[in-house]
Chain A
Amino acid sequence: MADEAPDLRTFIDLSVVLTGFSEVELLGTGMAALYYGTVRGAVGEGVMGDLLATFRAVSHGGGDLETAMRTRILGDPRLGQVARNLITLWYVGNWYEMSQLWRDAYGISPSDVTRVVSAESYQQGLMWAAGETHPQGAHQPGFGTWALPPARSSS
């Protein structure tokens, strides 16, 4: 869809701030478009649109980004849990069903189901890179590499 591109762009910018991973690292997982669809499907276009619009305002608003993220997104009853779920989606590769309180307040989507989003999403979970290792069962590092001291990445 033609109008999806700018939203996907904002989604990636938001993801960079939420995850602490760079844009190249996030795009390097190949998961951005799938995750955009996952979140939108689970919480609906309205919530997704508001999340991205709020982030645009926050990131263009100047001032302290951390404070603005906490007050306007992470601390927002409607958007906060979505943002936290977006973080865990990137880090783990799983979508976790929104809490019952949230669903009562803001609606239920049939796509809001706890699941591993795909075989690839598991392998691309950022938690492995954050822990300076590789996903269990994938991205093998090669014979004997485990006997070497852990490499501390430069980032």
Chain B
Amino acid sequence: MIETLEDLERHLEAAVQLELSVIPPYLCALYTLQPGANEEVSQIIRSVVVEEMLHMILAANVLNAVDGRLRMTDPGFVPTYPTYLPDGNESFLVHLLPFSPEAVETFLKIEEPSYEPPPAAMESLAKTAAAKPPVPLRLAELGPYETVGDFYKAIIKGIEHLVDKLGEREVFQGNPERQIPPEIYYYAGGGQPIAVHDLRSAKAAMEQIVDQGEGETCSMYDGDGDLAHYFRFMEIKYGRRYEPGQRQGLALSLSEVPRGEPFPVSYEAVYPMLRDPRTGDYPAGELRQASLAVDAAYSHLIRQLQSAFDGRKDLLLPAVGTMFELKYKALELLKNPLPGQPGVNAGPAFEYVP
């Protein structure tokens, strides 16, 4: 329950962390796609990633609007992998994986925790479920929430409750200069950032996150008519688009299988990335240096985002440039075979280096 402004800030900070935590797993799937195949798959995953980035910005805007402070560079904020995502009272492991059926099942589960992956596809999940992540996500300390959607709905309730209790002006004391305005972030897919300064804009920001796919189950579509993330991954799983007719109804079930135009999905045209790469596990030398370079780019990105959320809006665009730099450095790693492990390539560790 959110009873105080401090509770609210902790929830919003956890929300930013949650959105950040799913980006590296999605990026690993995206970057392991070899050129010349999986064109649609690439577009779909990319469209989800850009919206997750948008969600992170929306959550940060709400946090800044209530005069909270984000501390992305604090120890433990940037997740390490595998990490846990909440699933009611339980949680499930999210690995860094190459594009694979297992990765797709994980993504379906991320977007819809009540989804139960077929056990065969997730054998590694069972095997490693016992292991504890080095640092749990902050969300775990706040719950329990059945779904991510519930978590966001609790935040909306909390904001309303605090506005009732303290008054709107008391709650929204943040400096408007610390808001990311709609024009700046542009890889926003179906939505765009909302500058938050009152209850209405705060609710709009939170609802956009829920709408775009974080556990909303009453409709396949968000307000813009775009397919929710869960259903975009269903399209990949089945290698088919949803038919336009399928896209119109409400109350579609999670098991609704796409029946539209098929598209090719190849799990072979994929760089065979090591599971959960760790920079320290690479042999000292060029390969470890290359992994450190990825970590450095990722860390630079985190610091740029932190500065952007601290009022340096002008750093958000360069942060997109850093994203691309990170991508090309990660691709270099992904094409390097691991010495002594035939058929396995290196991959990005996404470790934060202060």
Contact = CB atoms under 8 A, between A and B. Distances in A.
A119 B35 CA distance: 10
Interface stretch (A20-28, A77-85, A101-109): A20-28
A142 B320 contact: yes
The size class of the interface chain B forms with chain A is 20 to 34
B181 to A, nearest CB: 16
Nearest to B35: A120
Contacts of A140: 324
B36 to A, nearest CB: 8
Interface of A: 22-25, 27-30, 119-120, 134, 139-145, 148
Contact of B321 (A24, A120, A139, A145): A145
22 contacts: A24-B287, A24-B332, A24-B333, A27-B336, A27-B337, A28-B331, A28-B332, A29-B332, A29-B335, A30-B335, A119-B36, A134-B328, A139-B324, A139-B328, A142-B317, A142-B321, A143-B317, A143-B320, A143-B321, A144-B320, A145-B318, A148-B318
Given A22-B286, A23-B286, A139-B328, A28 B333 contact: yes
B320 A24 contact: no
B335 A28 contact: yes
Nearest to B329: A28
A145 B319 CA distance: 9
Contacts of A23: 286
Given A22-B286, A24-B286, A24-B287, A141 B336 contact: no
A143 B316 CA distance: 11
Interface in B1-52: 35-36
Contacts of A22: 286
B317 A141 contact: no
B336 A24 contact: yes
Contacts of B317: 142-144
A98 B14 CA distance: 62
